[in-house]
Amino acid sequence: MNNKKPGFTIAVASGKGGTGKTFISTNLFNTLQKYSYKVTLVDCDAEEPNARQFTGGKKVSTKLVTQLVPVIDESKCVYCGKCFEYCTYNAIFFVKEARMIRVLDDLCHGCGACTVACEPYGAIHEKEDELGTVNHYEITPGVTVVEARTKVGVHSSVKVVKEAIRSAYDADVVVLDSPPGTSCPFIQTVASADFVVLVTEPTPFGMSDLKQSVETLRHMGKPCGVIVNRAGLGTNEVYDYLSSEQLPLLMNIPFDRSIARIYSEGNLLTEQDDGWQMQFNLMYNLITERYGISCNKW
Amino acid sequence: MKVAISATGDTVESSVDSRFGRCSFFAIFDTDTHNVKFITNTAAESSQGAGPAAVQLLAGNQVQQVVSGEFGMKVKPLLEQLSIKMLNLQNGQHTILDVLKQFK
């Protein structure tokens, strides 16, 4: 296991999907790499990771993420129903009258309570169940992409995301590409960040989800700033909101056909445009100046 | 034979709930005595696995047939194994009474 502390961690998130999280995180990653930082990008959008389509990199390792689920030996089971009572996730199906007991693997959270409940009879043992993988890719020495990838059909990506973030160390800066929304996988991602960059678009949908994200982050005590992507689209409501809530506007990216084209071709804006590379670097400096030192995560 | 019908309320005038696991009540009808009783679907509040929990509830009440709008993929094999018949009610508003009339 590693004992090294990860570097300054920035999560790029948004309530609404499709606002440009991956666009921002891959370009920030690329910029920091150009400015000679040792940087790791963690793709935490484990249900559909796609950051690597922009960054490339050579696979250096794959780690399986598993959880322990119970297996019931019916020859030893006395049908007492204790394991069923202990399970708070409805993962044990039990009908006493019919002497029927089943483990519903899909619903199991791997807490182990049923195994404890069955200790007097020993009818439950545990097996490893695959949740997904954590894949490491190297761009150049010290510059890596970590990809969290949930197995199709697994109900929660939280454990895979947690393992991916944990395996990102030995870097000056860690950029986390968060999953959309404000549910558990998002919480798991931003929980380990020093600062959260929220990407929004100036539309009613973008506004509504931005507010939800800001409220959630404030509740968690996480500092955040906002990037307005596709600026010029929709209304100016978002800017009024930012000033009334005293949230920093980190960047304004216009709704521009040439930017959209670069992204849709799988390329990086900061690779093709030095001006934008400077802007991303300026934003990074602004964030670290304001939040880099004061934040005593460790 | 006991038949369970997923219901939105606890009277025969209530409509059939199209959801099985997360309906509010089950009307349990005894085809021999023509008795109807309503039980609260305690599984509906579950954060996950409401369907299987509702199957357990009904099996504990000796139900042999279920009428509802839809049955999920977790629920079907469990009901089959318990030899509880599923009856799919296609769209349209039906009250519990409408369904009961079919059994009388």
CATH number (domain holding residue A92):
3.30.70
What are the counts of helices (DSSP H) followed by strands (DSSP E) for chain A? 11, 11
| Mean pLDDT, residues A168-180 taken together | 92
Residue A164 pLDDT exceeds 60: yes
**CA-CA distance, A182 to A15, in Å (whole number)?**
6
pLDDT (0 to 100) of residue A152: 93
A211, A234: one domain: yes
**CA-CA distance, A86 to A121, in Å (whole number)?**
15
**Per-residue model confidence as pLDDT tens digits over A200-254:** 999 999 999 999 999 999 999 999 999 999 999 988 999 999 999 999 999 999 9
Report yes or no: A8 and A172 within 8 Å, Cβ to Cβ. yes
pLDDT (0 to 100) of residue A5: 61
**A3 domain residue, yes or no:** no
**Per-residue model confidence as pLDDT tens digits over A39-68:** 999 999 999 999 999 999 999 999 999 999
Residue B72 pLDDT exceeds 70: yes
Ordered by where they begin, the domains of chain B are 2-103 (3.30.420.130)
Report yes or no: B95 and B14 within 8 Å, Cβ to Cβ. yes
Residue A169 pLDDT exceeds 90: no
Residue A19 corresponds to which tokens in the numbers above?
């606002």
Q: How many domains does chain A have?
A: 2
A138, A190: one domain: yes
Which residue in A156, A87, A93 sits closest to A115, CA to CA?
A87
**CA-CA distance, B52 to B75, in Å (whole number)?**
6
Chain A, 155-184: which have a CB under 8 Å from a chain B CB? 155
Residue A80 corresponds to which tokens in the numbers above?
């007492």
Mean pLDDT value across chain A? 93
pLDDT (0 to 100) of residue A298: 34
**A52 domain residue, yes or no:** yes
Domain that holds residue A117: 74-122
DSSP letters spanning B23-57: -SEEEEEETTT--EEEEE-GGGG-SS-HHHHHHHH
| Mean pLDDT, residues B29-38 taken together | 95
List chain B residues with CB under 8 Å of A97: 59-60, 62
**Per-residue model confidence as pLDDT tens digits over A61-93:** 999 999 999 999 999 999 999 999 999 999 999
A103, A225: one domain: no
A59, A93: one domain: no
Chain B, 34-93: which have a CB under 8 Å from a chain A CB? 43, 46-50, 52-53, 55-56, 59-60, 62, 74, 78, 81-82
Residue A297 pLDDT exceeds 70: no
**A156 domain residue, yes or no:** yes
Residue A3 pLDDT exceeds 90: no
Secondary-structure percent of chain B, ordered helix, strand, coil, rounded to 5: 30, 30, 40
Question: Which of B46, B53, B82 is nearest residue A98 as measured by Cβ atoms?
Answer: B82
pLDDT (0 to 100) of residue A96: 92
**A2 domain residue, yes or no:** no
Do B49 and A94 lie within an 8 Å CB cutoff? Answer: no
| CATH number of domain containing A203 | 3.40.50.300
**A90 domain residue, yes or no:** yes
pLDDT (0 to 100) of residue A155: 83
Residues of chain A above pLDDT 70, percent: 96
A23, A94: one domain: no
| Nearest-neighbour CA in chain B from A4: distance (Å) | 38
Q: Does A106 touch chain B (CB under 8 A)?
A: yes
Mark out the alpha helices in A47-120 (DSSP H runs).
52-55, 82-86, 113-117
**ipTM (interface pTM):** 0.87
pLDDT (0 to 100) of residue B21: 95
**Per-residue model confidence as pLDDT tens digits over A94-128:** 999 899 999 998 899 899 999 999 999 999 999 99
For β-strands A58-72 and A124-140, DSSP reports them as: antiparallel
Which residue in A141, A136, A159 sits closest to A41, CA to CA?
A136
- Phi, psi (5° rounding) for residue B69? -75, -45
Residue to test with chain B: of A69, A93, A109, most B Cβ within 10 A: A93
**A298 domain residue, yes or no:** no
A269, A149: one domain: yes
Q: Does A76 touch chain B (CB under 8 A)?
A: no
- Phi, psi (5° rounding) for residue A13? -135, 170
**CA-CA distance, A106 to A100, in Å (whole number)?**
18
Do A95 and B74 lie within an 8 Å CB cutoff? Answer: no
A24, A57: one domain: yes
A42, A185: one domain: yes
